[in-house]
A and B are shown apart, each in its own frame.
Chain A
Amino acid sequence: MSSDRPPFHEGPADTGQDHLSMDEIADLDEGLLAPERTSAARAHLQRCDECSARARALADTTAALRGLGPISMPTDVAQRLETAIAAESEAGSPRLHAVPSGAPEPAIARGQATTVVPDLGEVRARRTGRPSLAASAAAVVAILAISAIVIGHGGGHHNPSLQGANAPGQTLNGAVGASQSVRPVSTGRTYTPTNLASLVPGLLEQQTPASGGSTAAGLPVPGASSPDRVGAAGAGTAASGAGTTSAGTGAATNKHNGTQPSGSAPTAAAVPRTQFAPLTTSATVPSALARYRTSGAALIDCAQRFAPTLGAVPEVVDFGRWTNKTASPPIRHEPALILVFADPVNSGAVDVDVVAAGCDNASLLTYKQVSVPG
């Protein structure tokens, strides 16, 4: 992040030598100035009272920062957090408590958890308020209706009972019909901070309507043949432990779908998820991401956490990898979902979230707004 301030020139007795701005002094302290500038700045500080006073002010500021203590959390906030955690605890967390380590994770786990407490996408959506550009009119209506509920309660949207009414599953139920679809692709590409902006526009162009592509017919998607049943099929597959279908053919999927005991995935069965289009390439999906591949519900639930607006579904999702050599520690070829959302404000841009397989708040590897042509 660069300074937005012009070079500092201050004081009536300026002898022609540039004084040091506060920014430069701060950079000097952090060792960020170029070597030749560093020595010049040190020399100047030695003889300039004005700049050394500025340096003392900076040191005082840093000392004051170090002296700041914790802030007592207000009682109402503490109470609210306790309530939210207790609700989470009562609901049970299948991830933590019901799943033996190493076992396939039930794809509905996140869906159950997020019915208790609104997720990040909803928090964002309460404020940004505009749907995906691809959203149907029904989605707009649903979002407005939910906004009205939230506003109507005077900001008391953290009341657990209201959260139930505002749960993502129900939102999806109303907002995402068969008219919307997520188009997953798997390019096998590794994205980096530098190539992201150039690769994403091509990703959008590459994805074409499933009905028009000949490649689509050749790669049936497990659990995706029946748009209205995608969530149920995906969740059922994972929950029953048959988590090895990620690269399988879709031939048996419909049968599997039809014979799935309804009791094993009650939540997902009750909540039709978005349509799930076939992959457009045959590149291998990293195994860490396979559950998002086999379960439309898992993918949508993940995407919802990062959606810029309530109910927005990504324009396209790539099952790719992420490399950031400048991260500490460096990240190399980490399996990652590349979630591409229409920007809710700027129609000439998309919001790209690169998300690690864990898909929680700590999984956001990067976020970037990318301009797209047209």
Chain B
Amino acid sequence: MSDVPLGDADLLARHVDGDPDAFAELVRRHRDRLWAVALRTLHNQDDAADALQDALLSAYRGAAGFRGGSAVTTWLHRIVVNACLDLARRRSVRPTQPLHDNPDSAPTAPDAIAGRETSLAVTAALRTLPAEQAAAVVLVDVEGFSVNEVAEMLNVPTGTVKSRCARARARLADQLRDLDPRRSGNEPPAQRVQSPAQYGEEHA
């Protein structure tokens, strides 16, 4: 392959100029990240797929409006996360109930919380967050966008982003702590998170 891969902005420009394949290539390039954001915000695959399709078609049609003031990935994330929140808001999606309300589900073995298991547990615990909190903490902590960038994406003040992230981290930390015998001592788990397997997620 002697061709230097085109940059995202070049691909988008080609799309606006009428290249029929450029946008699909752009999507292929970023779909796993965008999928992760949608899934971690909306907590189920059907909703994530719906929101992502809406968002990407909107981006397809609105690409001429991209001003280049931010990275293409930031622009795409903005559209995707807002489509997700819009869907969640309209549906009044309730976060998945923690397991203490659902005693039939098997908790993750407490001694399994280490290393990779921790990330799986975090992933599962994300399901219990309201969409706004999940979106904020995923964009900032997982995706690595700055608080300012996320505030712009979500069209909220930076303080709101910080607050949502803080709420989300606290909620996640409380749940993970309850799973971890080294930290929770003899206390019985107050809350348990759902088995990561039920999340249907595999790390790439």
- Residue numbers of A with Cβ under 8 A of B are 1, 3, 21-23, 25-27, 29-32, 53-54, 57-58, 60-62, 64-74, 77-78, 80-82, 84-86, 88-89, 93, 95-97, 101, 110, 113, 117, 119-120, 123-124, 127-128, 155, 158, 308, 324, 326-329, 358, 360-362, 364-367
A-B contact pairs, 21 of them (CB 8 A): A22-B174, A23-B166, A53-B183, A57-B183, A64-B121, A64-B176, A65-B142, A69-B36, A69-B203, A70-B32, A71-B40, A71-B204, A84-B56, A85-B23, A89-B24, A93-B61, A113-B57, A113-B61, A123-B87, A326-B157, A361-B62
Task: Answer whether residue B55 sits at the interface, using C-beta atoms and an 8 A cutoff.
Answer: yes
Q: Which of chain B's residues have a CB closer than 8 A to the CB of A27?
A: 163, 166
> Are B165 and A30 neighbours in the complex by a CB distance under 8 Å?
yes
Interface centre among B148, B177, B202 (most CB of A within 10 A): B177
Chain B 45-59 interface mask (CB, 8 Å, partner A; 1/0):
110111111111111
Chain B residue nearest in CB terms to A361: B58
> Are A88 and B142 neighbours in the complex by a CB distance under 8 Å?
no
> Are B173 and A328 neighbours in the complex by a CB distance under 8 Å?
no
> Are A155 and B18 neighbours in the complex by a CB distance under 8 Å?
no
Q: Which of chain B's residues have a CB closer than 8 A to the CB of A358?
A: 62, 65
A93 to B51, CA, bound (A): 20
A67 to B171, CA, bound (A): 18
Which residues of chain B from 117 to 138 have a CB within 8 Å of any chain A CB?
118-119, 121-123, 130, 132-133, 137-138
Query: How far does the Cβ of B119 sit from chain A's closest Cβ, in whole Å?
Result: 5
> Are B61 and A86 neighbours in the complex by a CB distance under 8 Å?
no
Q: Which of B20, B31, B59 contacts A78 (CB 8 A)?
A: B31
Task: Answer whether residue B99 sits at the interface, using C-beta atoms and an 8 A cutoff.
Answer: no
Q: Which of chain A's residues have a CB closer than 8 A to the CB of B158?
A: 328
Query: How far does the Cβ of A104 sit from chain B's closest Cβ, in whole Å?
Result: 14
Q: Which of chain A's residues have a CB closer than 8 A to the CB of B61?
A: 88, 93, 95-96, 110, 113, 360
Q: Which of chain B's residues have a CB closer than 8 A to the CB of A124?
A: 87, 90-91
> Are A81 and B56 neighbours in the complex by a CB distance under 8 Å?
yes
> Are A62 and B89 neighbours in the complex by a CB distance under 8 Å?
no
Which residues of chain B from 23 to 37 have a CB within 8 Å of any chain A CB?
23-24, 27, 31-33, 35-36
Known: A70-B204, A71-B35, A367-B89. A362 touches B62 (CB 8 A): yes
> Are B177 and A96 neighbours in the complex by a CB distance under 8 Å?
no
Known: A60-B176, A77-B35. A68 touches B166 (CB 8 A): no
Chain B residue nearest in CB terms to A325: B157
- Residue numbers of B with Cβ under 8 A of A are 15-16, 18, 20, 23-24, 27, 31-33, 35-36, 39-40, 45-46, 48-65, 78-79, 82-83, 86-87, 89-91, 118-119, 121-123, 130, 132-133, 137-138, 141-142, 144, 148, 151-152, 155-160, 162-167, 169-174, 176-177, 180, 183, 201-204
Q: Which of chain A's residues have a CB closer than 8 A to the CB of B24?
A: 82, 85-86, 89
A279 to B170, CA, bound (A): 51
Interface centre among B24, B46, B86 (most CB of A within 10 A): B86
> Are B35 and A70 neighbours in the complex by a CB distance under 8 Å?
yes
A120 to B53, CA, bound (A): 10
> Are B170 and A65 neighbours in the complex by a CB distance under 8 Å?
no
Q: Which of B60, B121, B202 contacts A71 (CB 8 A)?
A: B202
Apart from the given pairs A60-B176, A69-B204, A96-B61, 8 other A-B contacts in the complex at a CB distance below 8 Å: A53-B183, A70-B33, A71-B39, A80-B53, A85-B27, A326-B156, A360-B65, A364-B86
Query: How far does the Cβ of B189 sit from chain A's closest Cβ, in whole Å?
Result: 14
Query: How far does the Cβ of B66 sit from chain A's closest Cβ, in whole Å?
Result: 10
> Are B118 and A360 neighbours in the complex by a CB distance under 8 Å?
no
> Are A328 and B39 neighbours in the complex by a CB distance under 8 Å?
no
Chain B residue nearest in CB terms to A22: B170
> Are A65 and B152 neighbours in the complex by a CB distance under 8 Å?
no
4 tightest A-B CB contacts, nearest first: A26-B166, A65-B141, A70-B32, A361-B58
Interface centre among B33, B46, B50 (most CB of A within 10 A): B50
Known: A32-B163, A60-B176. A65 touches B137 (CB 8 A): yes
A26 to B133, CA, bound (A): 13
Q: Which of chain A's residues have a CB closer than 8 A to the CB of B183?
A: 53, 57
> Are A66 and B50 neighbours in the complex by a CB distance under 8 Å?
no
> Are A84 and B163 neighbours in the complex by a CB distance under 8 Å?
no
> Are B53 and A1 neighbours in the complex by a CB distance under 8 Å?
no
A23 to B148, CA, bound (A): 22
A234 to B128, CA, bound (A): 47
Query: How far does the Cβ of B11 sit from chain A's closest Cβ, in whole Å?
Result: 13
A127 to B92, CA, bound (A): 10
> Are A23 and B162 neighbours in the complex by a CB distance under 8 Å?
no
Q: Which of chain B's residues have a CB closer than 8 A to the CB of A324?
A: 155
A82 to B203, CA, bound (A): 22
Query: How far does the Cβ of B56 sit from chain A's closest Cβ, in whole Å?
Result: 6
Q: Which of chain A's residues have a CB closer than 8 A to the CB of B118?
A: 60, 64
> Are A361 and B174 neighbours in the complex by a CB distance under 8 Å?
no
